[in-house]
Structure 1
Amino acid sequence: MINIQNEKKYELIVPQLLENAYRTAPNREVIYDGERRLTYHDLMEESTSIAYSLQQMGVKKGDRIAVCLPNSHEFIVLLFAISKIGAILIPFNTRYRIDEIEYILRNSGAKIAFFTKEFENIHHFDQFVEINKKLSSLERLVTVRFQEEICDSYDQLLKQGKNRQPSIPPIDPKEDVFAILYTSGTTGKPKGVMLTHQNVLYTGTVAKEKMQCTEDDVFLIPVPVFHIFGIVFIMHTVCSQARMVLMEKFSAHDALTLIQNEKVTVHAGVPSMFILELNHPSFYSFDLSSLRTGEMAAAPCPVEIVRKIKVDMGCNVLVAYGLTETSANLTITDFTDDDNLKSETVGKAIEGTELKIVDKNRKEVSRGEVGELACRSLGLMKSYYNMPEQTKEVVDEAGWFYTGDLATMDEEGYIRIVGRTKEMIIRGGYNIYPREIEDVFYEHPSVLDIAVVGLPDTVLGEIVCAAIRLKQGEEFDEIELKEFAKQKLADYKVPDKIILTDDFPMTASGKILKTSLQKRLKQDLQAELR
């Protein structure tokens, strides 16, 4: 059961974490992002300046602020500035294309948007300016690390707010929303997950304690800060009054270099990141002796990789499981768990979380039986933004959230994830929903029918495979089809493989049997899969 007495320790609000660290160790470094090093004093001063300027721009408590930035000190400053005045952070995946951005801006009613000029060949400035012409709700555009006459700039806001104090509204950690993170639904339309201050501080605090983090730790954050994994690692750092090293873009060589040079002690990551590091040709030339632990999540990890992380990297990594809707962590392994437990399970429920496995009627099943994993947690979202019916579908009247993941629970409480009731694909830690990709391809004039499934991959966990049936008389051109998808989808959603097929396995009612299709494709493409 949830220990109500322990709720007290999670009743801070996000800006109070920074205030506590600032008072304790103002001159301690908190951020290195490859461009700048900031102390807690710098972070406090700059976030306060931005908060003041936002209020001068008319931002009030509850207003939504869009932030489309890679891992950078500006993102962290904005996170604390926005939360300080009770506004709501809307983090954007930097790979989103114009249609995806417009939908979220329109749905959230975001008042102001911060963005870079371009990132990884995606021209954010052009996209936001184009969208701004259509949306009256989007009142101001703010550039970051570049200047444009038609926009405000981050640097201007810093100068305008320097040495000024914003007015601080009362914030209820249990009720007031800290951020809305958009996660794609099986319908293809993203849902806005409303996370309160208590939600993110709860998971940030519990997992930090599980990893035994202190002010002496240095956190490597190669996972995106616009994702719940990255956001919770920010909370781990500031809650520990420690230091974070941000990677704008992951590469194994850069990660290993940063671990060595910055004396990283705690390594966040998805399994593919650790695999790429271990397989780097110069791996054994790096000094990784500072590494102590880390958190690995988002995909299964083979036991030999868990063992190599511990032996070859000296990192007693913990394996975790969670969702955006649960503010990340629902479960985590322990330092004393052996390599097989870390590979085969995702650990036990974290403190303050209840778990159960249920059948299709939502009745609890016996230990060891497969069913859907359900939870009650202090990290559970408030709801989906403006989607009461979709919220009711996954959260019952007793507060149980149904994850859509198939799992077992053993006698000791260890959770094994055995599959997904939903068709979600997890590619390199990114959640991908086939329906969204299928809808894009149905717009192509040559495509008659399509089914998208995930296929196993030893590095990324899964890759995206699209099986396509063309209209009569049309010719198959895989490169052209991928280019078509790239115009409408974030790059990680573009299928890795596009296969031409003449028929699909079908149900009696005329639906494509994706499990049968996936099995067939695994066999047909066995020689090509890693």
Structure 2
Amino acid sequence: MANLKTNPNVSDTLKATANRLPNREAIYDESRRMTYGELDQEVTNLAKGLIRIGVASGDRVAVALTNSCEYVTAFFAISRVGAVLIPLNPFFSKEESAYILQQAGAKALFCDAESYYSELRQEIETLSTIISVRFQAADYMNYAELLVGHKSEEVRIAPTEDLFAIMFTSGTTGRPKGAMLTHENVLFSAMAGSNRMKCTEEDAFLIPNPLFHVMGVTFILRATYCGGKLVIMQKYSVKNALALIESEKVTVHPGVPTMFILELNSPDFDSYDLSSLRTGEMAAAPCPVEIVKQIRSKMNCNVLVAYGSTETAATLTMTGFDDDDTLRSETVGRPVHGVEVKVVDDHRKECAVGVVGELVCKGPGVTKGYYKMPEETAKAIDHEGWFYTGDMATIDENGYVRIVGRKKELIIRGGYNIYPRELEEALYQHPAIADAAVIGLPDELFGELTCACVVLKEDITTTEEELLGYMKERFVKYKVPDKFIILDKLPITASGKISKLKLKEQLDNNISITS
């Protein structure tokens, strides 16, 4: 592992690995390769360039880049000058980007497409510089120009207090909130996950997720911490993922369950050599036990299941290599070292073992709060430092956490509480179903009705009547969905999660549901 200071910052992590392994390949992004020595040097040059254009400690710098070597370089250079990273989805609308840039008070912005950023510079007072990456524009400063910097000074960073990033949540309800993550937050989670997965400098990490997502942040740091290689996918595709695993000898494959399912179902699956795979991390959605078994047997991937959120800098709980397939599919494991979790009732009193309540947590990875939103911070973090995740869960006698569903997704039908996650897990076990989402829809009689939206596997058919019978065999009457809708696909967010907000909007616009 890297020879880190007792209390390192993000920049220290790269420096330590570059000093130890300067010639080790650090990144391949499908078009460019960099060693740790080259990465560290480019980070230093870019940091000098940022200082030259007036970026100082504490300033916010947005990065609206697709996955690339330059994204990683900007990631570390912003840290090196003591500035604060604002990851921005490059596919956001002008309005979505404007809100985040304005709320964060961004001073500079990296982008790899012209888009609407010139207009935003005129509208947002703090935004003074736009940096173009891999393209030229008359009124943008080019990335290459910034690499010719002047002197730089050592910046003092207090890892437990100073912000590394402000990461805006997806905003499933209301405006996105900016979770303030310190250097300690992100490094703790990265190191804890690395230790649980037993990562070493021999590992090559496939990165199929967007780097602007918290999972991207944690894997950049996880690979850097242990000295492994990042194999960055510019855009996810099944064929490319399988090809990169083979050609780059990938050993660690993170991703959402949908990615693994698509790869397993690829018609060309058997033509790829995936023997290099050692482990992986699945997060963000439930995964049927049959899929876990196939990942382990067919992909040679001893996959682990993890749970976390933007506010916890990703890693909070994770299964272990000794856990069986059922534990990996039905739970999200136990807390990583240094994290405390419990479930509480509506009065914030701790629940008994096995009783459903809201999952709360405490540890070095938990956010300082929401940027410029003290009221939202007070709702989410109590005076003892417990963060209220909004997820409903149980904890068993062995400490394994089972996520039941989002607190705000709870369906109350005729006075009965229904947790969508429980129904979704049963639907995933149906042989015809590839994807599923259960949502509540308003109803005058019952308050809410339960609607199950499913996507079928290729070349397999079923009917709403058959699905109704299937669920009746498994659940008490009030839990059985009132309606089944078979769709071609479910809407997803940029990070690969099913967007129930968009799904509800689709149903509101196109489908009338009656009991």
Q: Normalized against structure 1, the TM-score is what?
A: 0.80
Q: CA RMSD in A?
A: 2.5
Deviation at 1:289, TM superposition (A): 0.5
Asked if the contact 2:66–2:90 (Cα under 8 Å) also holds between the matched residues in 1, the reply is: yes
The Cα offsets for residues 199-233 of structure 1, whole Å up to 9 and x where unpaired, read as: 01001001101111111110001011100111100
- The answer to whether structure 1 residue 352 and structure 2 residue 290 are counterparts is no
Corresponding residue number in structure 1 for 2:145: 156
- Supply the distance in 1 between the matched residues of 2:435 and 2:384 (Cα, whole angstroms): 35
- The aligned residue for residue 313 of structure 2 is 327
Quick check: 1:65 aligned with 2:24? no
Displacement of 1:187 = 4.1
8 Å CA contact 1:357, 1:370 repeated in 2: yes
Partner of residue 231 from structure 2, selected from 245, 265, 283 = 245
| Equivalent of residue 376 in structure 1, options 350, 353, 362 | 362
Distance 1:38 1:421 in 2: 44
**Relative contact order, CA 8 A, sep 6+: which one is greater?**
1
* Cα distance per residue 1:299-340 (max 9 Å; x no partner): 000000000000000000110000100001110000000000
> Residue in 2 aligned with 1:56?
52
What's the offset of the Cα at 1:517?
9.4
Look up the match of 1:404: 390
The structural deviation recorded for 1:424 is: 9.8
The question of whether the paired residues in 2 share the 8 Å contact of 1:330 and 1:349 is answered with yes
Distance 1:175 1:393 in 2: 21
- CA deviation after TM superposition for structure 1 residue 513, in Å: 3.1
Residue from 134, 145, 163 that aligns with 2:134:
145
Q: What is the aligned partner in structure 1 of residue 494 from structure 2?
A: none
> Take 1:92 and 1:265, find their aligned partners in 2: how far apart are those partners?
28
Query: In 1, Cα distance between the equivalents of 2:94 and 2:273?
Result: 43
Answer yes or no: is the 8 Å Cα contact 1:373–1:406 preserved in 2: yes
Is residue 2:443 matched to residue 1:505? yes
Distance in 2 separating the partners of 1:35 and 1:51: 23
Shift of 1:521: 11
Within 5 Å, give how 1:183-262 maps onto structure 2: 183-185=169-171, 187-262=173-248
Contact 1:116 1:144 in 2 (8 A): yes
**Residue 115 of structure 1, CA deviation:** 0.5
Native 8 Å contact 2:450 2:483 kept in 1: no
Q: Deviations over 1:436-494 (max 9, x none)?
A: xxxxxxxxxxxxxxxxx999685885569898xxxxxxxxxxxxxxxxxxxxxxxxxxx
Shift of 1:136: 1.5
Query: Cα distance, 1:423 vs. partner?
Result: 3.4
Label 1:517 to 1:460 Cα distance change in 2 as closer, same or farther (>3 A). Answer: closer
In the TM superposition, 1:130-141 aligns within 5 A as 130-141=119-130
Matched, 1:169 2:155: yes
Task: Give the gaps of 5 or more residues in structure 2.
Answer: 412-419, 454-477, 490-515
Equivalent residue of 1:267, what SS?
strand
1:198 aligns to what SS in structure 2?
A: helix
Residue equivalent to 1:104: 100
Match of 1:273, SS state, is: helix
1:9/1:48 CA distance change after superposition, 3 Å: closer
Mapped partners of 1:466, 1:305: distance in 2: 27
Cα distance in 2 for residues equivalent to 1:370 and 1:147: 55
Matching of residue 303 in structure 1 with residue 262 in structure 2? no
Q: Which residue of 1 aligns with 2:497?
A: none
Rounded Cα–Cα distance in structure 2 between residues aligned with 1:101 and 1:297: 26
SS of equivalent residue, structure 2 residue 245? helix
Q: Which residue of 1 aligns with 2:31?
A: 35
The AA in structure 2 aligned to 1:317 is V
Is the CA contact 2:63–2:71 (under 8 Å) kept in the aligned structure 1?
Answer: yes
Alignment match, 1:3:
none
Distance 1:294 1:230 in 2: 14
Deviations 1:146-192 (A, max 9, x none): 0011110111112x22xx44212110000000001001345420100
Aligned length: 447
Letter in 1 for 2:115: D
Relative to structure 1, the CA distance from residue 64 to residue 462 in structure 2 (aligned partners, 3 Å threshold; closer, same or farther) is: farther
> Does structure 1 residue 182 correspond to structure 2 residue 168?
yes
Pair 1:13 & 2:9 matched: yes
Q: 1:165 to 1:420 in 2, by over 3 A?
A: same
Q: Which runs of 5+ in 1 are unaligned?
A: 1-7, 118-124, 426-452, 468-503
Q: Which amino acid aligns with 1:30?
A: A
2:349 matched to which residue of 1? 363
**Matched residue of 1:133: which SS?**
helix
The two structures have a TM-score, normalised by structure 2, of 0.82
* Partner Cα distance (2:352, 2:439) in 1: 36
Distance in 2 separating the partners of 1:244 and 1:45: 17
Secondary structure, counterpart of 2:106 in structure 1: coil
Counterpart of 1:50, as a letter, is L
Shift of 1:522: 5.4
Corresponding residue number in structure 1 for 2:498? none
Q: Offset of 1:35 from its aligned partner? A: 0.9
- Choose 517-526 or 246-255, whichever is displaced more: 517-526
Contact kept, 8 Å, 2:351 with 2:357, in 1: the verdict is: yes
Alpha carbons 2:440, 2:451 under 8 Å: kept = no
CA distance in 1 between counterparts of 2:6 and 2:187 reads 6
Q: Do the aligned partners of 1:33 and 1:247 also contact (CA within 8 Å) in 2?
A: yes
| Partner secondary structure for residue 525 of structure 1 | strand
Counterpart for residue 409 of structure 2: 423
Q: State percent identity of aligned pairs.
A: 49
User: 1:95 deviation in Å?
Assistant: 2.2
Deviation at 1:133, TM superposition (A): 1.7
Q: 1:465/1:151 Cα in 2 relative to 1: closer, same or farther (>3 Å)?
A: farther
